[in-house]
């Protein structure tokens, strides 16, 4: 067995590797970039330890991601969040991404069946209807925050396509609860102080979990009573068999909640980053507008329109390269093993970073340049372009997310110009899903408004060349 020492920075005095971990969590992107620049393809968060190891190159990504039996996802047992057995919290948390082994394989087959391309394409009409309703509420010269608007829209789309509810009616209560639950489940206080006493954030999380579970179960019961034939993802999941026993209601609670979480914040963040990139690249925005207006004329898009929008597709791919919403993700080694020349112990956390891999200059020349036309040629190796991860655990919603983003952007750009505030400060934020830290304030202008360059400040300037 090989055993080279994994390179990395010194552990902080007194705090050990936990000090480095805290620095990583404070600004993961900057910390990962520095590790990559200093140490190359693989680094430890703290030299001399292998509790947290980061991989950056396609070949190491492949070693980790292609072997999902050895490098597993965090599950209830390995999660930093305390989950009382038999609690609502533990049932809500039991989504596909938090499962491993045979249980994961069974659930993945069923979720994949519910998200098949031919099913997902049927959502185009609802997505366009909801996007048109959403942008119809805007008024000329209104001030909006693009990130907030995109979150509200992707939430409405998730409520309709995943749960089969109308967002303005039956879906209002459940969407509010889901949002509160998501904010609470990823909050540092709830994770760090799991104290079940009044006024503690953890108690609030447990209570929210009970309310949310009640509501999700009510939605499941309503879907069951309306019989097979529903086209939303929950109905399809409920009736999916694929040579496997169908999911029980307890199992559906976890999968429904996870699909909802997986689908909406990521897509909203990517839409916001894409609109920022277009606003700061007027030449590309003009070409996209020509393409969209030329194809749509006075009409609306649908699934069959999408192949006629190749530049918009390249713009989204390039945006997912520069700003992958999931900038990093981690796996846990199941047993003592080797990673290239390095030795890893059981339970080591192995982090991979689409953000850093996507900026390796030998893969993407002038990596910080927003250059959609780099996607004119050829397909990429899955381990060098991985906004949706890669291998047997790759995201099952990539097709839905790509379709949704194209349709939403086509509708929005066809109706309005969103003009960012001049000299706006944009910093990166978000722990699990990267997003503009303070949102993206903008003015709504008529679609006839000429496209002009805007100047942007903030640390986003280190993430993309803005001239």
456-457 vs 435-436, strand pairing mode: unpaired
Query: Can you tell me which of 57, 73, 280, 435 binds ligand HEM, judged by CB under 6 A?
Result: 73
Residue 448, marked binder: no
Shortest reach from residue 197's CB to ligand HEM, in Å: 34
Instruction: Identify the residue among 396, 420, 440, 460 touching ligand HEM (CB under 6 A).
Output: 396
CA 100, CA 107: separation in Å to the nearest integer? 10
Residue of minimal Cβ distance to ligand HEM: 397
Q: Are 414 and 447 in contact (CB under 8 A)?
A: yes
Q: Which is nearer to ligand HEM, 274 or 279 (CB)?
A: 274
- CB of 220 or CB of 400, closer to ligand HEM: 400
C-alpha distances (whole Å) from 448 to each of 135, 293, 393, 455 are 16, 12, 44, 21
Interface residue with ligand HEM, options 325, 372, 436, 439 (CB under 6 A)? 325
Site for ligand HEM in 246-275 (CB under 6 A): 259, 262-263, 266-267, 270
Minimal CA–CA distance to 315: which of 263, 270, 264, 354? 270
Q: Does 171 bind ligand HEM (CB under 6 A)?
A: no
Using CA atoms, how far residue 36 sits from 181, 384, 385, in Å, is 34, 15, 17
Smaller CB distance to ligand HEM: residue 329 or 364? 329
C-alpha pair distances (Å), 285 with each of 279, 290, 291, 369, 453: 7, 9, 10, 15, 10
- Find the binder of ligand HEM among 395, 413, 420, 463 (CB under 6 A): 395
Nearer to ligand HEM, 252 or 424 (CB): 252
Sole window of 84-92, 130-138, 236-244, 394-402 interacting with ligand HEM (rule: CB under 6 A): 394-402
Contacts with ligand HEM in 84-103 (CB under 6 A)?
96-97
Name which of 206 and 275 has its Cβ closer to ligand HEM.
Answer: 275
C-alpha angle with apex 139: 136 to 143, nearest 5 degrees? Answer: 120
Look up residue 317 and give its two tokens.
């791919």
DSSP string for 197-245: STT-HHHHHHHHHHHHHHHHHHHHHHHHHT-TT--SHHHHHHH--TTSP
The binding site consists of 395
Binding-site residues for heme, in ranges, read 395
Binding site for ligand HEM (CB under 6 A): 73, 96-97, 108, 111, 259, 262-263, 266-267, 270, 325-326, 329, 387-389, 393, 395-397, 400-401
């Amino acid at each position: 067995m090989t055993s080279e020492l994994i390179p990395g920075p010194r552990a902080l005095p007194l705090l050990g590797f936990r000090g480095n971990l805290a620095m990583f969590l404070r600004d993961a992107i900057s910390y990962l970039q520095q590790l990559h620049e200093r140490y190359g393809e693989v680094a430890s968060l703290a030299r001399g330890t292998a509790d947290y190891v980061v991989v950056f190159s396609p070949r190491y990504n492949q070693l980790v991601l292609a072997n999902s039996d050895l490098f597993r996802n965090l599950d209830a047992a390995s999660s930093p969040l305390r989950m009382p057995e038999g609690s609502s919290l533990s049932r809500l948390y039991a989504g596909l991404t938090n499962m491993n082994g045979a249980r994961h394989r069974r659930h993945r087959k069923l979720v994949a069946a519910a998200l098949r391309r031919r099913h997902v394409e049927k959502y185009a009409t609802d997505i366009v209807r909801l996007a048109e309703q959403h942008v119809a509420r805007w008024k000329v010269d209104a001030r909006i925050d693009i990130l907030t608007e995109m979150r509200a829209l992707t939430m409405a789309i998730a409520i309709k396509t995943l749960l089969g509810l109308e967002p303005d009616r039956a879906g209002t209560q459940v969407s509010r609860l889901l949002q509160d639950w998501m904010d609470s489940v990823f909050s540092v206080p709830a994770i760090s102080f799991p104290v079940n006493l009044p006024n503690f954030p953890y108690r609030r999380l447990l209570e929210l979990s009970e309310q949310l579970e009640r509501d999700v179960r009510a939605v499941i019961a309503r879907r069951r009573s309306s019989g097979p034939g529903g086209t939303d993802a929950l109905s399809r999941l409920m009736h999916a068999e694929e040579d496997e026993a169908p999911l029980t209601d307890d199992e559906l609670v976890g999968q429904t909640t996870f699909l909802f979480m997986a689908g909406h914040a990521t897509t909203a963040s990517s839409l916001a980053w894409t609109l920022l990139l277009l606003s700061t690249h007027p030449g590309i925005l003009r070409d996209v507008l020509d393409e969209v207006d030329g194809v749509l004329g006075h009409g609306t898009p649908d699934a069959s329109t999408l192949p006629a929008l190749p530049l918009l597709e390249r713009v989204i791919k390039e945006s997912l390269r520069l700003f992958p919403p999931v900038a990093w993700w981690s796996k846990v080694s199941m047993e003592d093993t080797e990673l290239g020349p390095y030795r890893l112990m059981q339970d080591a956390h192995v982090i991979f970073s689409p953000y850093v891999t996507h900026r390796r200059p030998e893969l993407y020349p002038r990596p910080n340049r927003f250059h959609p036309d780099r996607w004119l040629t050829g397909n990429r190796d899955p381990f060098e372009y991985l906004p949706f991860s890669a291998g047997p655990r790759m995201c099952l919603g990539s097709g839905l997310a790509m379709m949704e983003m194209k349709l939403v952007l086509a509708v929005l750009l066809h109706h309005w110009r969103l003009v960012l505030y001049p000299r706006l400060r944009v910093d990166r934020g978000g722990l699990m899903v990267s997003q503009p830290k303070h949102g993206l304030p903008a003015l709504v202008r008529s679609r006839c408004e000429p496209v002009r360059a805007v100047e942007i400040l903030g640390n986003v300037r280190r993430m993309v060349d803005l001239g």
